[in-house]
Amino acid sequence: MTGRDEQLMEFPCRFAIKVMGLAADDFDALVVSLVRKHVADLNEGAVRTKPSANGKYLSVTVTFQAESREQLDNIYRSVTAHERVLMAL
């Protein structure tokens, strides 16, 4: 990220990460466990799931209080490194 991009976000702030993978009963729990390594406190209602139209894929959105750019980078690295994650936005 460039210095200009970092200026667009002020921390702390609410942030939502959307993670997509093949639909499975435990995919949402997997995503939450990956995010929890970097976020101490997830509020009730922080996790939303949505299956794809054909049910093959599942998106999991986790909303949390982001404390720094470094924290967000670490979350994205952790999530995208997992073999079951197809994409993270």
Contact assessment for residue 59 and residue 28, using Cβ atoms and an 8 Å cutoff: no
How much is the pLDDT for 35? 98
pLDDT band, very low/low/confident/very high, at 47 (cuts 50, 70, 90): very high
- What is the tens place of the pLDDT at every residue in 68-79? 999 999 999 999
Structure tokens at 88: 């993270």
For residues 19 and 83, give the distance between their C-alpha atoms in angstroms, rounded to a whole number.
Answer: 12
Contact assessment for residue 67 and residue 40, using Cβ atoms and an 8 Å cutoff: no
Strands of 1-89 (E only): list them: 13-22, 47-51, 57-66, 85-88
pTM: 0.90
- Mean of per-residue pLDDT scores for the chain: 93
Looking up tokens 């197809």 gives 86
Structure tokens at 10: 């002020």
How much is the pLDDT for 85? 98
Residue 20 pLDDT > 60: yes
Percent of the chain with pLDDT over 90: 85
Q: For 9-34, what is the mean pLDDT?
A: 97
How much is the pLDDT for 13? 96
Structure tokens at 78: 């952790």
Domains, the chain, ranges and CATH?
A: 3-88 (3.30.70.260)
